[in-house]
A and B are shown apart, each in its own frame.
Chain A
Amino acid sequence: MLSFDIFLQPEIFLLWTSFLKTAVLVGVVLTMVAYSVWAERKVSAFIQDRVGPNRVGWAGLLQPLVDGVKLVLKENFVPSGVNKFFFSLAPALAFVPALLVLAVLPFGSSLFGVPMVIANLNTGILWVFAVSSLGVYGIVLAGWSSNSKYPFLGSIRSSSQMISYEIALGLSVIPIFLITGTLNLGEIVQYQTLHGWMVFPMGMSGFNLQRLLLWIPMLISFLVFLIAMFAETNRLPFDLPEAEQELVGGYHTEYSSMRFAMFFLGEYAAMIAGAGVIVTLFLGGWSLPFVPDGSQGWLWGVVNIATFFAKVAAIIFFFLWIRWTLPRFRFDQLMKLGWYVFFEVALVNIFLTAAILLYFRS
């Protein structure tokens, strides 16, 4: 008779629950990636008064599946004159960071007493910034190793884009740490369950003047962070590195088959991870007013997880909506925006938050 007690020893328990959570989360996110591609095509079609994919399955719901099959079956072509090592490495470098970000996102409260976050790091948000910036290397290497002018221009734009938004991205979240006093994403969500969401501070506990005043810097933070996130995930209006119209696809022009699919998956996975970070930092993560967390029963745990992914889906819809509304920025305009506007706004915002926290103590 085998004893299952070994699975309940703390270390072993942590090990297999982590594996399980990782597998399920990656599975869920990859499915979401496939369906955000479908959603992109459907939303863009609807906004432009078209029909969109509707042949494969009901309303084209099986389209991602056949697209995947098509991409796998295509020839994996390597043009002559490319740097083969970096050419093969780049797609992975673009794809992996997006998934690594997911490791620290609390995508639910807890289920059967297991916290619904893969790695509960105390430096959570720093991990997010460190890893998600690595995604740029994938793009830069792809453009550089392709030995072709359009990918090269795309990768140059990508690096110029990165130095213009990263500072605003980092500075815009500092007010949150000033308020919550922690970098741990799980604790930031816990704070928001108690005090209300960052951009919607109608908490259950006492609502006071300080909370009301903090709403202003939080909205500014949210706006700057959201816009910087658009640049981080290479979404329109900041999709300069791939600019289909000017650069024929930009950094992935020379890629085909699964290597191209990796870039594609990476872009959408980065979008989901970015939406997850936005939700966690500003929109209360898995929390919903008057909904208890997973310690009140596993059903609530499932509701919390569903809430998180529903919010992520809403943010992704907003990403798509913006894409089909705004034209693309020129890259000098983006640098100007990043350095002249958002950098200053984010910096002033920090002092504003600090002043409010200092002078309006609750």
Chain B
Amino acid sequence: MARPVQRPKLSLLERSYLPAIFGGLLVTIRHFKDMIFGKTQVTMEYPEQNWNDDLPDWYRGAPTLVKDEHGRERCVACQLCEFICPPRAITIKPGEISKDSKWAKVEKFPEQFEIDMARCIYCGLCQEVCPEQAIFLRKDYSITGETRESLVHDKKKLYELGGVMTGLVHKWDEKK
């Protein structure tokens, strides 16, 4: 059942809107004044200030490839990340490790490893699926470029961003 709502009874002055307008003007000028005197906390002024030093450990930035402390590239080109990548940002071209290499038993290495940062959604599935602890999402978030091509990170760029990661499992080392 519809219930009639009692409208508030306004005095003549209130009906002229003038007190409300005056009140509104006071509100806006207070904000103006607080801003002028620097009392208002505004948003971070990004390029000059940033969160870089306060990013949490689990922050998901750009995916990168890492080497371990022996300088071995950890990726074995199993292509699991390529298959799981939802936006299909990863392209891997596997190659064979030469027989006389110290790591010959690993058999494969990525001859080409490209991540298209224009497609990457920073979901971290590649890191999760990697059986070799080779791909990690690091803290770089400001990935920009002037062309689409420049946004495709090749192997060199990926290792540059990833660097060396220590404390990983060394499953290809000789058994002790």
Interface code B20-32, partner A: CB below 8 Å = 1, 0 otherwise? 0100110111011
The answer to whether B40 touches A49 (Cβ under 8 A) is yes
Could you tell me the distance in whole angstroms from the C-beta of A60 to the nearest C-beta in chain B?
Answer: 13
The answer to whether A49 touches B24 (Cβ under 8 A) is no
Which chain B residues in 32-70 approach chain A with CB under 8 Å?
32, 34-36, 40, 42-43, 45
A46-B36, A49-B42, A51-B43 known; A325+B21 contact, CB < 8 A? yes
Mostly helix, strand, loop or mixed at chain A's interface?
loop
A residues near B32, Cβ cutoff 8 Å = 43, 46-47, 321
Interface contact tally, CB-CB below 8 A? 36
The answer to whether B25 touches A46 (Cβ under 8 A) is no
Selected from A50, A322, A324, the residue in CB contact (under 8 A) with B42 is A50
A residues near B45, Cβ cutoff 8 Å = 51, 54
The answer to whether A326 touches B21 (Cβ under 8 A) is yes
A208 on the B face (CB < 8 A): no
Which chain A residues in 43-81 approach chain B with CB under 8 Å?
43, 45-51, 54
Selected from B21, B28, B35, B43, the residue in CB contact (under 8 A) with A324 is B28
For residue A337, which residue of chain B has the nearest CB? Answer: B17
B residues near A50, Cβ cutoff 8 Å = 42-43
Interface residues on B, range: 10 to 19
The answer to whether B24 touches A46 (Cβ under 8 A) is no
A residues near B43, Cβ cutoff 8 Å = 50-51
Which chain A residues in 17-53 approach chain B with CB under 8 Å?
43, 45-51
Selected from A45, A51, A322, A325, the residue in CB contact (under 8 A) with B27 is A325
Could you tell me the distance in whole angstroms from the C-beta of B23 to the nearest C-beta in chain A?
Answer: 9
User: Chain B CB within 10 Å — which of A43, A46, A54 has the most?
Assistant: A46
User: Chain A CB within 10 Å — which of B27, B35, B42 has the most?
Assistant: B35
The 6 A-B residue pairs whose C-beta atoms are closest, nearest first, are A46-B35, A325-B24, A325-B28, A47-B28, A46-B32, A47-B32
Q: Which residues of B contact A (CB under 8 A)?
A: 21, 24-25, 27-29, 31-32, 34-36, 40, 42-43, 45
Known: A50-B42, A321-B32. 15 other contacts (CB 8 A): A46-B35, A46-B36, A47-B31, A47-B32, A49-B34, A49-B35, A49-B40, A49-B42, A51-B42, A51-B45, A54-B45, A321-B28, A321-B29, A322-B25, A325-B21
A–B complex contacts, Cβ < 8 Å, 10 sampled: A43-B32, A45-B35, A46-B31, A49-B34, A49-B42, A321-B25, A321-B28, A322-B25, A325-B24, A325-B25
